[in-house]
Amino acid sequence: MFSKLLSAGALAFGLSLVAGAAAACPDVRQNGATGRYTGQQLYDPKFFNVTAGGNHSLQRNCRRIYNSLRSDRGEGYFPVRPDFTLQTPGLQGFKLVISVVSECDSTLLINTPAGNWYYDDDDNGNLDARIDLTSPSSGILDIWVGTVDGEYCNAQLRLETF
């Protein structure tokens, strides 16, 4: 009887660790700062101040997201909640550029309206991140601004269409 209780307790503990690890990953079910921008509105760049960083390792702790990336792969530390949750109607026919300028080595993680995950580390130059979506779809766009090493720093997110 005692061994069955011990086994059940070990199983429950193991399941709670797995659930805790999943909860420590970027989560599209949560919302960041909200906004609504059409492709035409983003033709004039929009800038947003943000604190880059987080304490959840994408590469080590969030393998489901990491393995489904449709772009670069690398280390990045992000919060659970997105920094921004944006409604983006009318993006058809535009190219959407999402970039970061920061005081540190920034990373960028986005989940598109189509449910695709993208990551970048240094494509904006100067250790800053940039993701170009050449055929963006309209809908909800979640954006996380992280860092390579888990530190925090001041950053600015830029959204622009072409």
Q: Are 52 and 124 in contact (CB under 8 A)?
A: no
Model pTM?
0.86
Per residue in 42-62, pLDDT tens? 999 999 999 999 999 999 999
Can you give the pLDDT at residue 23?
54
The whole-angstrom separation of Cα 71 and Cα 88 is: 21
Can you give the pLDDT at residue 37?
98
Q: Is 112 exposed, middle or buried (0-12, 13-18, 19+ CB in 10 A)?
A: buried
DSSP codes joined into one string, 36-55: E--TTGGGS-EEEEEEE--S
Per residue in 10-44, pLDDT tens? 444 444 444 444 558 999 999 999 999 999 999 99
Per residue in 56-84, pLDDT tens? 999 999 999 999 999 989 999 999 999 99
pLDDT at 7 over 50: no
Check residues 13 and 157 and name the one with the higher pLDDT.
157
Q: Are 137 and 114 in contact (CB under 8 A)?
A: yes
Average pLDDT of every residue of the chain: 89
The whole-angstrom separation of Cα 141 and Cα 162 is: 17
pLDDT at 1 over 90: no
Sheet holding 46-52, edge to edge: 46-52, 153-161, 96-102, 130-133
- Cα-to-chain-centroid distance, residue 137: 17
Domains of the chain in sequence order: 2-161 (2.60.120.380)
HSE-CB at 54 with a 13 A cutoff on CA atoms is 26
Q: Are 141 and 39 in contact (CB under 8 A)?
A: no
Per residue in 115-133, pLDDT tens? 999 999 999 999 999 999 9
Q: Are 95 and 161 in contact (CB under 8 A)?
A: yes
| Local structure of 18: helix, strand or coil | helix
Q: Is 24 exposed, middle or buried (0-12, 13-18, 19+ CB in 10 A)?
A: middle
